[in-house]
Amino acid sequence: MEIPYTISNRPDTGLWNAKIGIWLFLASEVMLFGGLFSAYIFLRLDAPAGVWPHGLLNVPVGTMNTAILILSSVTVVLAWASLKMRRYRAYWWYMLVTILCGIIFLVVKLAYEWPQKFDHFGAYIKPEALEKYERYLGNHRLAEKGLPLRVEITGHLHNHEALADPNIKEYEIGLDPVNADPSNPAMDRPHFLYVPPTDKVGTIEKADVERATMFLPTHSTYFATYFTITGLHGLHVFGGVVVFIYMWLPVSKRLYQRNPEHLANRVEVCGLFWHFVDLVWIFVFPLFYLL
Amino acid sequence: MNNPPDVSPDPAEHEEYAHNVQKHVKGYLVVGAALLACTGITVALSYVDFGTRKANIAVAMLVAMFKAGLVGAIFMHLAAEKRLIYRVLVFTGFFVLVLFWLTYLHWYDPVSR
Amino acid sequence: MDASASPATDHASHSHDAEHGHHELGFWRKYVFSTDHKVIGIQYGICGLIFLFMGFSLMMLMRFQLAYPGHALPLIGSALGHFFGPGSMPEGKMAPEFYNSLGAMHGTIMIFLGVVPVAFAAFGNFVVPLQIGAPDMTFPKINAASFWAFFVGAVIMVASFFVPGGAAKGGWTSYTPLADIADTGPGFHPIFNGQTMWILGFIFLITSSLLGAVNFITTIIQLRAKGLTWMRLPFFVWCQFVTAFLLLLAFPPLEAALVMQLMDRVAATSFFLPTGLVVNGAAMHISGGGSSILWQHLFWFLGHPEVYVLILPAFGIVSEILANNSRKPLWGYKSLVFSVLVLGFLSFVVWAHHMWLTGMGSTVSAFFQTTTVLISIPSVIILSAFFISLWGGSIRFNVPMLFATAFLPMFGIGGLTGIPLAFNSADLYLHDTYYVIAHFHYIVAPGTIFGLFAGVYYWFPKATGRSMNEFWGKVHFWPSFVCMNIIFLPMFLQGMLNMHRRWYDGGQGWNLAGEKVWGLSGFEWNTPISWAAWTMGVAQIPFIINFFWSIKHGKKVSDNPWDATTLEWLAPSPPPHGNFLEAPVAYRGPYEYSLPGSSKDFTMQNEPIESTERTPRKVEGEPALV
């Protein structure tokens, strides 16, 4: 006996096997990311006022990556439609675009966005020393307007060795614009375009610092959730790209010649996964980049 | 929107079938454009002050839900899918809501806060 | 048995034709890297049984420390010290850290490497496709991947005993912040330490369960034989179906939590570490802002459905055996099916009853107390239906039936003693005492594991073509049954004396204040319990020998030795690749025993309904489930 319904539909369910399989898999993926987003909500609700950071990520780059993922979702569905219309050539091109989009997304994420964060520095000031750094924080004006106070000074760390060497007593920071010009009302809300650290150098004594790290996962629960969720999402993108490359290689041509519907089914299943990855990003993007 | 039917083995019908799928292709392109537009809208709205941050979050999530709905309904063919798949998803959706809602409730209603 | 009555024997002559189409696979492809659901099921089964014994052995070691705290373990103590590395058993005495490792790994191994692989993966893989008349699982390669993911996870778990510092010590629940900071610091490798390896191993196990669950559900939906409608499915298949859904949807949130705990340990994040955490008198250098309650929520979101993952397959096995050996239909088939569906559904919304002590408000408590009490209703329906099924039957007390009938009161005790724990006022007192240990062990040990033994004895002839020895089966059953109760009944007493479940000295200090129950104080009860545990260890030897001996030398039996009705008994024993010689067709329900007017007392599902049947049972229509 052979396993039935691998390509054709079972009459009473109207579905072939892998279609059910992928949807069940996606259901479990929904629960996986559900757990992560649930943790995000829990931690964000638990965070004291003003501690959850805003505007630390590069919005234009994030927007571009979102657009790339959406584009790849369109091309993968077009690739599937091409197969349904038995146009292998078009399928091949659409698939290539999808793969390239996935690779671009990953490269932007791993080679540009993440390293840029790893290279950024932030120092949380002890509550009793906040007054001392008023010139970088501008808290008097914020308190007047009823806005949450700033407790962190960020920028480019000039003396990297200060992180490990206990003999160095202070951090020298090329200040971010918000700390370079804290009384400017334009700094109260995040910027759309990324503004690099300024030339203005601030000096912060280690004794006044509660905690100072680069923008690593350990920096805050915000970055912890950001790196975990985008990392896991990135793994999904990577998995999708690997499978798509397999579907695009000459093996797929041979399968197409043997049974085009079988290849179309495979592409449909992988496409469903890819759309799901896109769907997760649709929520990740505003939650981390914008809000 | 209905899904394109399976290819008929009869070559005479193939022409009409290809035409049928072609109509869907236009739909996919329109949805893709709408998704891109919504992305722009999300970004723009995040720089509009809706009074509180909660309001901003609500607006952004509404747009995101709409986008997710488009992807699900059109790209993932959920607009016209088999009952079995709806069943699986309804259960999953319910349990996800439980996961969200009760962790929220626990945060909201502890003995000491 | 009248062999000619079995339709399966007709196929014996065809068996050569069926094998003709298959090319022979080499040894490795056939027995090791096989994609055949039967081979994978047997692989899971043997691995799982080994792990069950391994997990039990850990507990036998702990029982010595509990009964004789501070004494050197005679005979094997120093050898174990060498085996598990320095610091585990100095001078043959168990170190506290090693005791904690044993406790954590006992729970993990028993549940995730023992019971789930045997109950769900082994029986599910071997029996479900046969019972639904399918040639294999829908995705054979994914099935094999599932087993190998399990295997890798198991290897990582076991290997963690031998890294510096030993295996995980945070309990099978790995509560944070303890689990976040355990096994870190000087003397521990950043990755190859007990707790981190526990997480990594667990992620592989979850992957394995996920792949298995997708496969099971798709198989049951898509590959049912012609005529095998939903309401004609054997109850075992229903149980596996619901179990697969539990694994599919409950495990991922734990996977998310494990990834976060991994980040906490490897990347120094603070998902589960609160602000201002002080460890050993020093403030931790962390960002804070996390919540250890979050871990508990995500853990128990899996943890509670997991309980039903452990018990539902046992329900299924027991139902098959009860119907078969009482020679009458399972009572209340439809109510059983709907009960198991409701059970599966409700199991997702009761998890916080494991967390009464975390300070939930009255709203949340009320919600979870209500759902927890609600879930006892379907459980009671199932157990009652099983008892009623026995009523008026001509019962055959063979070995599977002994285990299956023993399951019923044992599960009953376990279930009923859970009700006080459902109410937070009672739980405040009983929480984390031996009462809790006794409660869930009654469900899982004499409950589920007896169900598993019943299943092994029952389906062994199908897998090998030979039956296991009845006499030695009874020698296995009776001491196990007696010892189980000597082990777990006194634990209720200990729990009500408020003895904490994690005490390293077995409550020796508590003994001073403890009152005597039946002549022994709470601490003194440890001694009979421990001796019973070791006796039970000895009582498993007949089973082990019987199992392996019978593979080659057991009595040869026909394809349907139990005169059963379900489709798996139609296939040759052992079934060839592809299972059935021709696709079976089902004409009737799964438990047509003692059909009035029939010449024999069982009517298989593939026998067409004849006009001579005096009172043909109503044929169930297709309910709207698909």
DSSP C326-379: HTSPPTTHHHHHHHHHHHHHHGGG-GGGG-GGGTB-HHHHHHHHHHHHHHHHHH
Structure-token pair, residue A99: 């793969």
Q: Confirm or reject contact between C342 and chain B (CB < 8 A).
A: no
Query: What is the residue-averaged pLDDT of chain C?
Result: 90
Confidence tier at C7 by pLDDT (50, 70, 90): very low
Q: Is the pLDDT confidence value at C165 over 70?
A: yes
Residue range C161-176: mean pLDDT, rounded: 93
CA distance B111 to chain A (A): 15
Contacts of C136 in chain A (CB under 8 A): 3
Confidence tier at B23 by pLDDT (50, 70, 90): confident
Confidence tier at C13 by pLDDT (50, 70, 90): very low
CA distance A95 to chain B (A): 15
Q: Which helix (H) or strand (E) holds A123?
A: strand A121-125
**Residue A40 and residue C271 in contact, taking contact as beta carbons nearer than 8 Å:** no
CA distance B48 to chain A (A): 10
Residues 6+ apart with CB under 8 A from C119: C309, C310, C313, C314, C317, C448, C451, C452
Percent share of chain C, pLDDT over 70: 93
Structure-token pair, residue C15: 């068996």
Percent share of chain C, pLDDT over 90: 76
Q: Confirm or reject contact between A285 and chain C (CB < 8 A).
A: no
Q: Tell me, what's the pLDDT at C218?
A: 96
Q: Are residues B75 and A13, on separate chains, in Cβ contact within 8 Å?
A: no
Residue range C333-358: mean pLDDT, rounded: 94
Among all residues of chain A, which has the CA nearest to that of B26?
A78
Confidence tier at C168 by pLDDT (50, 70, 90): very high
What is the β-pairing status of strands A152-157 and A170-175?
Answer: antiparallel
Q: Is the pLDDT confidence value at C288 over 50?
A: yes
Distance CA C431, CA C421 (A): 8
Q: Are residues C360 and B95, on separate chains, in Cβ contact within 8 Å?
A: no
Phi and psi at C28, nearest 5°, equal -65, -45
Contacts of C267 in chain A (CB under 8 A): 216-218, 224, 227
Residues 6+ apart with CB under 8 A from A18: A6, A265, A266, A269, C139
Confidence tier at C209 by pLDDT (50, 70, 90): very high
Q: Are residues A224 and C287, on separate chains, in Cβ contact within 8 Å?
A: yes
**Residue C88 and residue C95 in contact, taking contact as beta carbons nearer than 8 Å:** yes
- DSSP codes joined into one string, C293-333: HHHHHHHHHHHHHHHHHHHHHHHHHHHHHHHHHHTSPPTTH
Residues 447-466 of C with CB under 8 A from A: none
Q: Is the pLDDT confidence value at C8 over 50?
A: no
Residues 6+ apart with CB under 8 A from A144: none
Query: What is the residue-averaged pLDDT of chain B?
Result: 83
Q: Higher-confidence residue: C15 or B91?
A: B91
Q: Tell me, what's the pLDDT at C613?
A: 62
Lowest mean pLDDT among A53-62, B9-18, C80-89: B9-18
Confidence tier at C198 by pLDDT (50, 70, 90): very high
SS3 track for C255-294: HHHHHHHHHHHHCCCCCCCCCCCEECCEECCCCCCCCHHH
> Each residue of A126-185: pLDDT tens digit?
989 999 999 999 889 988 888 888 889 999 999 889 888 889 999 999 999 889 988 888
Q: Tell me, what's the pLDDT at C358?
A: 86
Residue A113 buriedness (CB in 10 A; 0-12 / 13-18 / 19+): middle
Percent share of chain A, pLDDT over 70: 100
Confidence tier at C625 by pLDDT (50, 70, 90): very low
> Each residue of C484-506: pLDDT tens digit?
999 999 999 999 988 999 999 98
Q: Are residues C249 and B112, on separate chains, in Cβ contact within 8 Å?
A: no
- DSSP codes joined into one string, C368-418: HHHHHHHHHHHHHHHHHHHHHHHTT------HHHHHHHHHHHHHHHHHHTT
Question: Is the sign of the CA dihedral C567, C568, C571, C576 positive or negative?
Answer: positive
> Each residue of C584-605: pLDDT tens digit?
999 999 999 988 878 889 999 9
Residue range C111-135: mean pLDDT, rounded: 96
| Residue of A12, A24, A31 with shortest CB distance to C253 | A31
Q: Is the pLDDT confidence value at C317 over 60?
A: yes
| Residue of A30, A31, A218 with shortest CB distance to C267 | A218
Q: Tell me, what's the pLDDT at C103?
A: 95
> Each residue of B72-82: pLDDT tens digit?
999 999 988 89
DSSP summary character for residue C447: I
Structure-token pair, residue B94: 């319910």
Top residue of C301, C302, C347, C368 to mutate, by most chain B CBs within 10 Å, is: C301
CA distance A198 to chain B (A): 23
| ipTM topping 0.90 | yes
Q: Confirm or reject contact between A10 and chain C (CB < 8 A).
A: yes
Q: Is the pLDDT confidence value at B5 over 80?
A: no
Confidence tier at C14 by pLDDT (50, 70, 90): very low
> Each residue of C370-427: pLDDT tens digit?
999 999 999 999 999 999 999 988 899 999 999 999 999 999 999 999 999 999 899 9
Phi and psi at C71, nearest 5°, equal -85, 150
pTM score of the predicted model: 0.93
Distance CA C108, CA C179 (A): 14
Residue range A52-61: mean pLDDT, rounded: 89
Q: Tell me, what's the pLDDT at B44?
A: 92
Q: Tell me, what's the pLDDT at C6?
A: 40
Q: Tell me, what's the pLDDT at A232?
A: 97
Q: Are residues B84 and C301, on separate chains, in Cβ contact within 8 Å?
A: no
Distance CA C217, CA C496 (A): 42
Among all residues of chain C, which has the CA nearest to that of A6?
C138
> Each residue of A235-291: pLDDT tens digit?
999 999 999 999 999 999 999 999 999 999 999 999 999 999 999 999 999 999 998
Contacts of A271 in chain B (CB under 8 A): 75
Q: Tell me, what's the pLDDT at C228?
A: 94
Distance CA C599, CA A29 (A): 53
Confidence tier at C619 by pLDDT (50, 70, 90): very low
Confidence tier at C481 by pLDDT (50, 70, 90): very high
What is the β-pairing status of strands A121-125 and A152-157?
Answer: antiparallel
Within a 10 A sphere around the Cβ of A90, how many other Cβ atoms?
Answer: 15
Q: Tell me, what's the pLDDT at C15?
A: 41
> Each residue of C563-591: pLDDT tens digit?
999 999 999 999 998 899 889 999 999 99
> Each residue of C419-476: pLDDT tens digit?
999 998 999 999 999 999 999 999 999 999 999 999 999 999 999 999 999 999 999 9
